Amino acid sequence: MVAVWLPTFPSLERHQQPTMYPRTVKVRSSSGTVNEYVRLVQAYREAGKVKQRVVADLGRKDLLLEVLPKLRRLLAGETGDPAELQLGDASTWGPVLVIRALFDRLGLRSILDQRLGHAKGVPFADRAFVLIANRLIAPASEHGLAGWLETDFVCDRQGRRFLPQWHPRRRVRVHPRQLDAWYRTLDQLHAAKDQIEVALYHRLRDLFSLKPDSVLYDITSTYFEGAGPHDFARHGYSRDSKPQNVQVIVGVVMVAGWPIAHHVWAGNRLDHSTVQEVIKDLRQRFAFGRLIFVGDRGMVTDDNLEAITKDQQGFLVGIKRRRHAPLDGWLDAVDDAQWVTCPGGINTRERKTDPPRTRAQEVSSGDPAVRVIVIDSDERRVHEQAKREPAMERARQRLEKLKGRIAAGALKRPEKIGAAVERIMQKYHGYRYFDWKLKDGALEFSESETRPGREKKIEGRYVIMTREKGLSVLDAVAIYKELTEVESGFRQLKDVLAPRPIYHQIEARVKAHIFVAALALLVQRLLGRRLEEAGLDLSPARAMQALATVRLVTYRLEGQPERRGLTGGCPDARLVLKALKLVDQRPPTPPEGEATVM
């Protein structure tokens, strides 16, 4: 095998010539056979120390012996038949290689084999792997997936490459048989979702010794292009800033940073109406004992807290800062001498001078059974101040413009004027800052004497409530701040995995589409954990970009069968592969005569 990639390295020390020499390494293949490979290694000096790096992987030693005479002629510059070395395909392999390894370490293939049933030809679990890998590498619809299969080497467990099947004479270019195979896989995933989630939770519990003392729950939305499924894709509060699009609601449950379950509801479902359903599911499906439910402000209603308490569960929830009568009294009860300093996050550690503080203290709730903790965050205060001042100015400008239109006679009817003011006040939170009235047909508005002061009072502060007597103030704050893990999961679910917009028109397919994204999120979380454990300052997304430089190259020498070799990849790619301890990096050798599948 010849090298197909040579990296560019920083210059060595002045006047020093690089020293390169071959090395051999023994690697056990997936079939158990031990092969000996030849690598070209370069010695270099860095900071006074001699180090080594792999320049190229030259291939198996026994195969190199066969082509050694021709290789010598090629290196000597002798003319020869250019057909002696024919390069074929050079497909991206690194990201798929890593996802295969993580997929198997999570036990996903065996779990899916057990839950999805049997399929003729390619197992459903192998097709599910393709859908999950696509979500992480190049998110696309089942139609767009075909193009990705042309650029990346994606194979089943036997090493048979998935290739797109095109239908050139139709508007939909992907052959219906291939689309049907993906849709059948989605249908199987949807049917087995509840069982798969439970089996994966048990696997995570065994791998990472999870103890579900608390569960974190939050909600997001994802929108459709087009009408979506009838009575399921509905208009509701859009977290994507797409109020004109119909949507569905997605709720995610996390334990110790791992997404263990998710739910999908119609797009007009209210956040707080999902809480009791989720807790009931955790008790019945996962057989959880007593746990602490951790939720944000949108989850809090008296009915929910009463139901949780009646079920002998715990809760730790955020309290709405507006439209909650007792909150002002709790904030007024804060004693500046009683703050407890909370451990700082990454921003606190990075700032050597005047680091931002997070402080907390417990105040009397007026109910001996309920604890209330006020949290004060410098970072949050700066962020909210930066948002308040422009919002006030935008509201002021819009009201001034509307005032001018009314004075010019463009708006005369009081109900029309009131509706226009209402739109401005709602869109720019004007009621937090301004009073207004209509006097003699003219609009008058002014800054409120009390409301801006209250806004400044709550900036940087939030309140949490619990009945848990055994939690210290710092423990309660730490548990609540873990909700950022759910928010991070949503960002990855939506921005990295890109499950939106959704094009499916069947409810079960919509749910299966989101399930694929949730499984991909789980794989990505495992990658992030492995990178962190190895001390690599790389995000999963950056790792995937680096791994794209690892390619699988096919070539043919005169009189020899087609062979495959790997490029070395960029330095970051090699670090990722080392962190994951991936020694055998080649795909499985497919059965004779079965190199590809549809």
In sequence order, the β-bridge partners of residue 54 are 41
Residues 475 and 526 in one domain: no
Residue 377: which pLDDT band, with cuts at 50, 70 and 90?
very high
| Domain end residue (candidates: 466, 490, 524) | 466
CA–CA gap between residue 279 and residue 253 (Å, rounded)? 10
CA–CA gap between residue 488 and residue 261 (Å, rounded)? 16
Whole-number pLDDT of residue 190: 95
Q: Which two tokens stand for residue 391?
A: 């919002």
Residue 62 lies in a domain: yes
Torsion angles phi and psi, residue 50, rounded to 5: -85, 125
pLDDT cut 90: percent of the chain above it? 36
Q: Please check the confidence at residue 7 and state whether its pLDDT lies above 50.
A: no
Q: What is the mean pLDDT of residues 550-559?
A: 81
Residues 332 and 275 in one domain: no
CATH at residue 223: 3.30.420
Residue 343: which pLDDT band, with cuts at 50, 70 and 90?
confident
C-alpha distances (whole Å) from 586 to each of 66, 103, 109, 267, 420 are: 21, 16, 19, 45, 65
Residue from 315, 322, 311, 274 nearest 293 by CA:
315
Residues 349 and 403 in one domain: yes
- Contact by Cβ (8 Å): 405, 424: no
Whole-number pLDDT of residue 90: 86
Strand (E) or helix (H) holding 265: strand 258-266
Q: Please check the confidence at residue 366 and state whether its pLDDT lies above 50.
A: yes
Whole-number pLDDT of residue 15: 43
- Contact by Cβ (8 Å): 215, 255: yes
Is the model more confident about 39 or about 7?
Answer: 39
Q: Please check the confidence at residue 13 and state whether its pLDDT lies above 70.
A: no
Residue from 299, 242, 256, 257 nearest 275 by CA:
299
Domain count, the chain: 4
Residue 498 lies in a domain: no
Residues 433 and 349 in one domain: yes
Residue from 438, 371, 432 nearest 407 by CA:
438
CA–CA gap between residue 527 and residue 545 (Å, rounded)? 13
Half-sphere exposure of 451 (CA within 13 A, CB side): 14
Residue 121 lies in a domain: yes
Q: Please check the confidence at residue 86 and state whether its pLDDT lies above 90.
A: no
Pairing of strands 247-255, 214-223: antiparallel
Residue 243 lies in a domain: yes
Whole-number pLDDT of residue 5: 40
Residue 240: which pLDDT band, with cuts at 50, 70 and 90?
confident
- Contact by Cβ (8 Å): 159, 30: no
Residue 490 lies in a domain: no
Q: Which two tokens stand for residue 65?
A: 């012996």
Whole-number pLDDT of residue 213: 80
Highest mean pLDDT among 98-107, 205-214, 387-396: 98-107
| Residues in CB range of 226: below 8 A, 6 or more apart | 503, 505
Instruction: Work out the widest C-alpha separation in the chain, in whole angstroms.
Output: 101
Residue 501: which pLDDT band, with cuts at 50, 70 and 90?
low
Whole-number pLDDT of residue 492: 60
Residues 455 and 331 in one domain: yes
Least confident of 46-60, 70-84, 411-425: 70-84
Whole-number pLDDT of residue 1: 37
Residues 347 and 448 in one domain: yes
Q: Which two tokens stand for residue 551?
A: 């390619």
Pairing of strands 292-295, 214-223: parallel
Taking only Cα atoms into account, the Rg of the chain, rounded to an integer number of angstroms, comes to 30
CA 336 to chain centre: 39
CA–CA gap between residue 61 and residue 40 (Å, rounded)? 12
Residues 556 and 475 in one domain: no
Q: What is the pLDDT of residues 567-595, one digit of tens each?
A: 888 999 999 999 999 988 889 988 888 88
Q: What is the pTM of this model?
A: 0.74
Return the DSSP state at 567: -
Q: Please check the confidence at residue 101 and state whether its pLDDT lies above 90.
A: yes
CA 561 to chain centre: 42
C-alpha distances (whole Å) from 20 to each of 42, 430, 560 are: 4, 70, 29
Return the DSSP state at 342: P
Q: Please check the confidence at residue 542 and state whether its pLDDT lies above 60.
A: yes
Residues 227 and 310 in one domain: yes
Strand (E) or helix (H) holding 169: none
Q: Please check the confidence at residue 484 and state whether its pLDDT lies above 60.
A: yes
Residues 49 and 129 in one domain: no
Whole-number pLDDT of residue 400: 93
C-alpha distances (whole Å) from 131 to each of 4, 118, 126, 169 are: 30, 17, 9, 26
Q: What is the mean pLDDT of residues 35-61?
A: 79
Q: Which two tokens stand for residue 583?
A: 């020694």
Residue 496 lies in a domain: no
Q: Please check the confidence at residue 388 and state whether its pLDDT lies above 90.
A: no
Residue from 87, 27, 30, 26 nearest 564 by CA:
87
| Domain end residue (candidates: 13, 46, 80) | 80
Residue 159: which pLDDT band, with cuts at 50, 70 and 90?
very high
Residue 274 lies in a domain: yes
Pairing of strands 371-377, 358-363: antiparallel
- Contact by Cβ (8 Å): 260, 286: yes
Residue from 89, 36, 33 nearest 65 by CA:
36
Q: Please check the confidence at residue 206 and state whether its pLDDT lies above 60.
A: yes
Residues 350 and 434 in one domain: yes
User: Do you find a cis peptide bond into 588, omega within 30 degrees of 0?
Assistant: no
Return the DSSP state at 432: G
Q: What is the mean pLDDT of residues 159-185?
A: 83
Residues 155 and 177 in one domain: yes
The amino acid at 464: I
pLDDT cut 70: percent of the chain above it? 87
Residues 238 and 130 in one domain: no
Q: What is the mean pLDDT of residues 290-300?
A: 80
Residue 102: which pLDDT band, with cuts at 50, 70 and 90?
very high
Least confident of 260-264, 482-486, 507-511: 482-486
| Domain end residue (candidates: 23, 54, 80) | 80
Least confident of 119-133, 275-289, 451-465, 491-505: 491-505
Kindly compute the dihedral angle of the four CA atoms of residues 564, 545, 104, 193, in this order, to the nearest 10 degrees.
Answer: -130
The string over 45-84, giving b where at least 16 C-beta atoms fall within 10 Å of a residue's C-beta and e elsewhere, is eeeeeeeeeebbbbbbbebbeebeebbeeeeeeeeeeeee
Residue 486 lies in a domain: no
Its domain, for residue 190, covers 93-210+505-598
Average pLDDT, the chain: 84
